[in-house]
Amino acid sequence: MGRDRSNQTDPADRLTGSGFQEEFMKIAMMGVGNMGAGIARRLMANGHSIVAWDLSAPRMAALAEGGAGVAESAQAAARDADVVITSLLGDSSVEQSVLSDGGFLASMQPDAIHLCVTTISPDCANRLALAHRSHGTRFVAGPVAGRPDAAAAGQLTTYLAGDRSAVQAVAELASAYAVKIVVLEGPAGLANAMKLSVNYTAISIIEIMGEIYAFAEKMGLDRALLRDYFEDAFNRPALKMYANKLHENSTTGTNGFALVTGLKDVNLMMDAASGCGVNFEVGSIIKRKMLKAIDMGLSEADWSSISQVTRSESGIEV
């Protein structure tokens, strides 16, 4: 049964182009881990209502304590939503949540929007866009850059691409959790191509810093000098933070980017590059070190823990 819209602005008007109004939205949040929960809390703080769905009951309960509703299934969460946000693990989990027999696409209202903040492959984003067009709903790829603590503080960067009217609507929504919103003209997959480019840059710089720190140790050079250089050279908060983490040999994953999740993103980066005929050679090095770090028991450590592999292979005790 559809919603009774007799006493409310039709969501198709509220969420499209110039028809967007400053109204509170009904949002279904699929996946309320560290990142998803941070985004959901920012949206609630801005007055939007959240209904959460996650395979983890404790995660849903934690969000419910802050005022969110919880659903018994993904379809139930999406049924009355103006916007469905997916914050999951990757291509497989997102496509299953949308397109499987129990997927939420079947229960979405006409013209409702699916905003995917998960880092997925460009091809997956384009497949989802096609599925939504066929169903009469709309899709926006909106991967976010930043750590869970940045989500909680509303300081993420997000890249948006997809259905034009839907992009305009979710840009207003994204301002609750993102301090920088970059809109890309073209197919949805462009947003994910941009996010993968950003992540590949970050992890490549991490690899280079790790190698230089190991070189400094072997040569007897004061690593603090290099930390100061890196902080000056890379005048962005995340890179400054990694300059310090590598200087201190910290592998903590608290509020960080887990190595196992980073490996997923590196695989996506390399597959996307290979698909267009580009060889990410540094990526092969990084992937090997990530797999070795996982073998060392660091799967839940921050992805910068690949520096510990570099140190170990350089004969430095870790």
- Which of 170, 187, 204 lies at the terminal end of a domain, its last residue? 187
Per-residue pLDDT reduced to its tens digit, 215-229: 898 899 999 999 999
What CATH number is attached to the domain comprising 208? 1.10.1040.10
Distances (CA, A) of 193 to 129, 188, 189, 244: 15, 9, 6, 28
Q: Are residues 92 and 44 in the same domain?
A: yes
Instruction: Tell me the C-alpha distance between 29 and 35, whole Å.
Output: 11
Q: Are residues 124 and 36 in the same domain?
A: yes
Q: Are residues 86 and 229 in the same domain?
A: no
The yes-or-no verdict on residue 270 having pLDDT over 60 is yes
The closest of 107, 37, 87, 22 to 67, measured between CA atoms, is: 37
pLDDT band at 234 (very low <50, low <70, confident <90, very high): confident
Q: Are residues 152 and 203 in the same domain?
A: no
User: Rounded mean pLDDT of the chain?
Assistant: 89
The yes-or-no verdict on residue 297 having pLDDT over 50 is yes
In a domain, 3, yes or no: no
Tokens 């301002």 found at: 175
Q: Are residues 21 and 111 in the same domain?
A: yes
Per-residue pLDDT reduced to its tens digit, 165-211: 999 999 999 999 999 999 999 999 999 999 999 999 889 999 999 98
Q: Are residues 43 and 150 in the same domain?
A: yes
Mean pLDDT of 127-138: 98
pTM, rounded to two decimals:
0.79
Which residue segment(s) compose the domain that 214 sits in?
A: 193-313
What CATH number is attached to the domain comprising 119? 3.40.50.720
Q: Which residues contact 177 (CB under 8 A, 6 or more apart)?
A: 38, 39, 42, 43, 144, 151, 154, 156, 158
Mean pLDDT of 234-256: 81
Q: Are residues 200 and 153 in the same domain?
A: no
Per-residue pLDDT reduced to its tens digit, 147-158: 899 999 999 999
Q: Are residues 210 and 143 in the same domain?
A: no
Distances (CA, A) of 150 to 31, 57, 129, 179, 234: 17, 24, 28, 10, 19
Number of domains the chain is built from: 2
